[in-house]
């Protein structure tokens, strides 16, 4: 081997080592989905059905959420009965509708949080754009990029098994990726769920296993919108679905109660609901649930409203990202005698279309509670779901997740420049 060839070999070999090292040193990421952000499969053996055309029994699991077939106008009544929860007044816990088994597929993987339907139809896209971008940066699905789907109908007081599994997933991912600390990337309700987990872990554990916590559209103090789900139902922009037809399922889920406005963020005299006979504030929840004839809702609120409140810092470096300047419901106005069965008018607020601005800004409370930095960045007109595919948001994630890799790439370019110079010198001689 001549002098020129030897130099080329050494430089190329060094560059290869750097590239491999950069890939090994990626901080792995676990995606924490929000309300509605995990696929559900169901198997039926029901004692009865709500409509004659609903399936009573199935031989195997089928797609329940989010299957577009299940929310078609005729099928939605069957869907609601299979998706709803039943509250036990004695144990203060919920269980599935009688005869319904629910399976949450894909724990540890990304497919079932990238898409909410096996068809990969654009309407059911969730974390896919972020995952696709991360793969282009050098991440590998189910290795350095993982997902933690869960039963989003429930609040953390009923998610102990899931949270134990997430803890194990974090540790497993850390050890399988060259002992690189893990980044937790949450969306919407996935962020208070993640905060609940971190609040229950020791500082030593977090220092060892967690690199940072990235929050997209975090619901830190609840939001007004879940009140409408409880009172009137909400079709969540699904065409041909009437809100009242899905209310039975929506109000049966403890997570809906958990995400109602917190008295840590809304004052005792701020009106949230205007009804024909009276107004309601955060002080009037008990009366509100009594007046809509759903006192179970107040019991679920009692079970959940102090799970993360008063807010306590996660104790890890944090990036808090959310949209602003999107019209967001603030107060619901009803003007009919049977008001809670009707669709209300909504008075507007600032926010991301789903979460009110005061709740989105809740992460700023952490700055005075922990030594680790809390980075805050807003995105103009980034709607609650649209934030998952905004190019400026994805670019921010890229800078956070692979900033070190960029420095390595710069070093690699320096090496190859030297290769060119060696070639020029040898050619001239």
27-36+107-401 CATH, one of 3.40.50.970, 3.10.20.30, 2.40.160.20, 3.40.50.1820: 3.40.50.1820
d(CA 287, CA 266): 17
In order of 128, 182, 400, 413, the CA distances from 26 in angstroms are 19, 9, 11, 19
In order of 24, 316, 317, 386, the CA distances from 369 in angstroms are 33, 11, 12, 30
pLDDT tens-digit profile of 272-322?
A: 999 999 999 999 999 999 999 999 999 999 999 999 999 999 999 999 999
359 tagged catalytic: no
Token duo for residue 390: 């905004």
Q: What is the pLDDT of residue 119?
A: 67
Q: Which of 35, 151, 352, 359 is catalytic?
A: 352
Average pLDDT, the chain: 90
Q: What is the pLDDT of residue 239?
A: 63
Token duo for residue 181: 């600390």
* Residue of higher predicted confidence among 104 and 409: 104
State yes or no: pLDDT of 405 exceeds 80.
no
Q: In what order do the strands lie in the sheet with 145-147?
A: 145-147, 29-32, 182-187, 210-216, 318-324, 374-380
pLDDT tens-digit profile of 329-351?
A: 999 999 988 888 889 999 999 99
Q: What is the pLDDT of residue 105?
A: 97
Q: In what order do the strands lie in the sheet with 100-103?
A: 62-65, 40-44, 100-103
Q: What is the pLDDT of residue 340?
A: 85
188 tagged catalytic: yes
State yes or no: pLDDT of 411 exceeds 60.
no
Supply the pTM of this predicted model.
0.89
Query: How confident is residue 75, by pLDDT bands cut at 50, 70 and 90?
Result: confident
Q: What is the pLDDT of residue 369?
A: 97
State yes or no: pLDDT of 117 exceeds 70.
yes
d(CA 10, CA 96): 63
State yes or no: pLDDT of 2 exceeds 70.
no
* Residue of higher predicted confidence among 48 and 74: 48
Q: Give residue limits of the domains in the chain.
A: 27-36+107-401
Cβ–Cβ under 8 Å, residues 149 and 107: yes
In order of 160, 202, 258, 382, 416, the CA distances from 165 in angstroms are 9, 17, 22, 32, 45
- Section 249-270 average pLDDT: 97
Lowest average pLDDT, out of 207-216, 235-244, 324-333, goes to 235-244
Q: What is the pLDDT of residue 69?
A: 80
State yes or no: pLDDT of 188 exceeds 70.
yes
Q: Which of 97, 188, 212, 262 is catalytic?
A: 188
237 tagged catalytic: no
State yes or no: pLDDT of 353 exceeds 90.
yes
Query: How confident is residue 415, by pLDDT bands cut at 50, 70 and 90?
Result: low
pLDDT tens-digit profile of 122-180?
A: 678 999 999 999 999 999 999 999 999 999 999 999 999 999 999 999 999 999 999 99
Q: What is the pLDDT of residue 424?
A: 58
């Amino acid at each position: 081997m001549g002098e020129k060839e030897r130099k080329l070999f050494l430089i190329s070999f060094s560059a290869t080592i750097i590239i491999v090292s950069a890939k090994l040193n990626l901080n792995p990421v676990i995606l924490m989905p929000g309300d509605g952000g995990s696929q559900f499969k169901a198997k039926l053996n029901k004692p009865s059905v709500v409509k004659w055309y609903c399936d009573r029994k199935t031989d195997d699991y089928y797609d329940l959420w989010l299957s577009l077939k299940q929310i078609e106008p005729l099928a939605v009544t069957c869907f609601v009965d299979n998706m709803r929860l039943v509250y036990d007044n004695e144990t203060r816990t919920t269980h599935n509708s009688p005869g319904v088994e629910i399976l949450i597929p894909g724990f540890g993987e990304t497919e079932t949080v990238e898409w909410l339907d096996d068809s990969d139809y654009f309407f059911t896209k969730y974390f896919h754009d972020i995952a696709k971008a991360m793969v282009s940066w050098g991440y590998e699905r189910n290795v350095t990029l993982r997902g933690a789907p869960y039963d989003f109908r429930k609040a953390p007081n009923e998610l102990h098994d899931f949270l134990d599994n997430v803890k194990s997933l974090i540790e497993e991912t850390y050890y399988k990726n060259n002992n690189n600390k893990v980044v937790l990337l949450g969306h919407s309700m996935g962020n208070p769920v993640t905060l609940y987990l971190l609040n229950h872990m020791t500082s030593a554990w977090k220092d060892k296993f967690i690199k940072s916590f990235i929050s997209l559209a975090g619901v830190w103090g609840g939001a007004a919108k879940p009140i409408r789900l409880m009172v009137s139902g909400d079709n969540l922009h699904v065409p041909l679905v009437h809100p009242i037809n899905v209310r039975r399922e929506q109000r049966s889920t403890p997570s809906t109660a958990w995400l109602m406005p917190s008295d840590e963020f809304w004052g005792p005299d701020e009106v949230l609901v205007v009804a024909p006979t009276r107004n309601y504030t955060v002080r009037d929840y008990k009366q509100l649930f009594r007046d809509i004839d759903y006192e179970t809702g107040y019991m679920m609120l009692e079970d959940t409203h102090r799970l993360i409140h008063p807010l306590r810092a996660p104790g890890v470096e944090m990036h808090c990202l959310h949209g602003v300047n999107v019209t967001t419901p603030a107060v619901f106005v009803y003007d009919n005698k049977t008001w809670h069965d009707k669709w209300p008018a909504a008075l507007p607020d600032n926010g991301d279309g789903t979460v009110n601005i005061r709740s989105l800004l809740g992460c700023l409370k952490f700055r005075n509670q922990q030594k680790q930095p809390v980075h805050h960045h807003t995105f103009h007109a980034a709607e609650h779901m649209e934030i998952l595919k905004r190019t400026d948001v994805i670019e921010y994630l890229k800078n956070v997740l692979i900033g070190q890799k960029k420095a390595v790439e710069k070093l690699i370019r320096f090496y190859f420049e030297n290769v060119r110079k060696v070639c020029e010198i040898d050619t001239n001689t």
